[in-house]
Structure 1
Amino acid sequence: MTKAIKLLTALPSPQRQRLMSLAREVSFPEDARIFEAGGTADRFWVIRSGAVSLTQQVTAHRLVTVAGLGAGDLLGWSWLFPPYQWDFGAEAFSPVRAYEYDAAAVLRLCEEDQQLGLILVRSVAEILAHRLETTRSKLMEQYSTHRRGVL
């Protein structure tokens, strides 16, 4: 399995500085819902400290954690792709400190600095590929465990 990419460290210094100029420091208390699946994806975060659970509603009363994120991880990518709605929910598993970015401002910056835009999109794509690989591995593990229990 490939190593997870960290968004800010993937950017060259000049582009990282430009992106950081748009950052706003925020915090979330433990158990806070950061966003809900289906909500408008108009921002994203880079986690500075703490842990966040990505969740999926599987029944009316059951949420399942599909991934855990920590320091340096990107939280939210749906702001890059129509229809700009969250695919999952997110909840602070512990107190969280993060850099928050307004998606519209970042997209404008990417139009101005196309090198930043290209690096940012490639980095997010690599993050998504890694998360897909991780999710696939977890599903395969669950399937094989389930199959062994049935036989």
Structure 2
Amino acid sequence: MTKAIKLLTALPRKQRERLLELAQEVSFPEDTRIFEAGGTADRFWVIRSGAVHLDQQVTPHRRITVATLGAGDLLGWSWLFPPYEWDFGAVAFSQVRAYEFDGAAVLALCVEDPLLGLSLVRTVAEILAHRLEVTRGRLMEQYTMPRRGI
């Protein structure tokens, strides 16, 4: 499996600096719901410290964790694609510190600087491809493990 891609370290220095000019430092206490599936996706975060669980509601009373994100990870990509709604929910598993970015401001910067826009979209695509690979691996492990007697 390939190593996880970190958004800010994957961008060239000048593009990273331009993007960070739009960042706001935020924090979320442990157990804070950051966003809910189906909500409006108008921002994203790069986690500086702590852990966030991405989850999916599977029944009215049950959620499952589909991924855990930590320092350097991108939290939220739905701001980049219509219909601009979160596909999963996210909750702070521990105290979280992060850089928060306004999606509209970042998209405007991408129009102004097409090379930054291309780098950003390419990096987000690589992150999503890596997460899909990890999920596929987990599913394969789950369904190829020998079953015990009935």
CA distance in 1, matches of 2:65, 2:30: 15
Matches within 5 A, 1:1-151: 1-145=1-145, 148-149=147-148
Q: SS of the counterpart of 2:94? A: coil
CA distance in 2, matches of 1:150, 1:110: 56
Q: 1:88 to 1:3 in 2, by over 3 A?
A: same
CA distance in 1, matches of 2:122, 2:92: 27
Show structure 1 runs of 5+ residues with no match. Answer: none
One-letter amino acid of the structure 2 residue matched with residue 148 of structure 1: R
Deviation at 1:150, TM superposition (A): 6.2
Percent of pairs with identical residues: 78
Moved over 3 A (4+): none
Q: TM-score, normalized by length of structure 1?
A: 0.96
Q: CA offsets per residue over residues 50-94 of structure 1, 9 Å max, x none?
A: 000000111111000000000000000001110000000000000
Deviation at 1:95, TM superposition (A): 0.2
Deviation at 1:140, TM superposition (A): 1.4
Q: SS of the counterpart of 2:101? A: strand
Aligned length: 150
Superposed CA RMSD: 1.1
One-letter amino acid of the structure 1 residue matched with residue 59 of structure 2: T
CA distance in 1, matches of 2:148, 2:19: 49
One-letter amino acid of the structure 2 residue matched with residue 27 of structure 1: S
Q: TM-score, normalized by length of structure 2?
A: 0.97
One-letter amino acid of the structure 2 residue matched with residue 24 of structure 1: Q
Show structure 2 runs of 5+ residues with no match. Answer: none
Deviation at 1:149, TM superposition (A): 3.4
